Amino acid sequence: MTDYVKTEMGKAEALGGQRKGSVGFALTSLQRRLASSPETIFQSLKRRHERLEKRLREEQIGERGRNLLAETLDVPPEDEDDLTAEEQERLEDELVDRATASQTPEELRAEIIILEGLEAQAKALVASGLDRKWDELSRILQDASELKDDSGRLRKLIIFTEHKDTLNYLHAKISGVLGTLEAIVIIHGSVKRDDRRTAQALFRSDPDTRVLIATDRVSAWDSTLSWALISRRPGSI
């Protein structure tokens, strides 16, 4: 994956204008997703592969031959604080799925072949169940005495992650450890503000809601969530 990113970064350097920035942002985001979780990099590669393959089919139907591939994509702002959490998530997903340094159908076809191989490797990794980050978090949830109250019950806990795919992955994994989905609430950029407030209220007040999983960009943008952190002061990993 890292070799792919380095190669495509080199190709992006030859691009001009806004497209260079869009491709660079997409590749940097892919590299970060690799470090997030096996599920996140698998889903990201799968979506990118599908979107670029669709684009290649459209190029072939249009019989553009060896013409340069042109595209118009949004460009990430210099200051991401100008965007809401939902806008940040949408922009990053769009660029990761579509921004490519390939300039001809032949180059795009070669990139798609590489993505097919990477997607297969990521799928095999997910199927293997090997994930050192999750293994450590699972151990902490089950065995760390500092996260248990006097009755042995898990204390209120907030877990931040950068990517929504990892959030969904953790939601499923943690519910398996706790034995229920009802003990967990989630917040990410696509969750409406009223639903966020409901989730926060449940986390603060409902004794059966033990875990809040949130994307970190939401916490930075949403002042009510920041207030919830300060007022409740739960553990955070």
138 and 118 co-located in one domain: no
Each residue's pLDDT tens digit, 92-116: 899 999 899 998 889 999 999 999 9
113 and 191 co-located in one domain: no
35 and 111 co-located in one domain: yes
71 and 167 co-located in one domain: no
Burial of 232: CB neighbours in 10 Å, binned 0-12, 13-18, 19+: middle
Low-confidence ranges of the chain (pLDDT < 50): 65-66, 68, 220-221, 227-237
162 and 112 co-located in one domain: no
Question: Most distant CA pair in the chain: distance in Å?
Answer: 70
| pLDDT for the residue 235 | 42
CATH number at residue 161: 3.40.50.300
104 and 136 co-located in one domain: no
Q: In DSSP terms, which residues pair with 211 in a beta bridge?
A: 157, 184
Range of the domain at 48: 2-128
Name the token pair of 47: 């979506």
Which strand ranges, in their side-by-side order, compose the sheet holding 211-215?
184-187, 211-215, 157-161, 235-236
Domain count, the chain: 2
CA nearest 159: which of 182, 179, 133?
Answer: 133
Residue 1: CB atoms within 10 Å: 14
82 and 147 co-located in one domain: no
Dihedral class, residue 160 (left if φ above 0, else alpha if ψ from -120 to 50, else beta):
beta
136 and 85 co-located in one domain: no
| pLDDT for the residue 74 | 60
229 and 183 co-located in one domain: yes
pTM: 0.82
| pLDDT for the residue 224 | 52
Place of tokens 């393959």: 53
Instruction: Give me the helices (H) in 14-104, please.
Output: 17-36, 38-61, 85-98
Place of tokens 């939401």: 218
| pLDDT for the residue 66 | 47
Q: In DSSP terms, which residues pair with 125 in a beta bridge?
A: none
| pLDDT for the residue 23 | 92
Each residue's pLDDT tens digit, 148-177: 988 888 899 999 998 899 999 999 999 999
Cβ atoms of 214 and 187 within 8 Å: the answer is yes
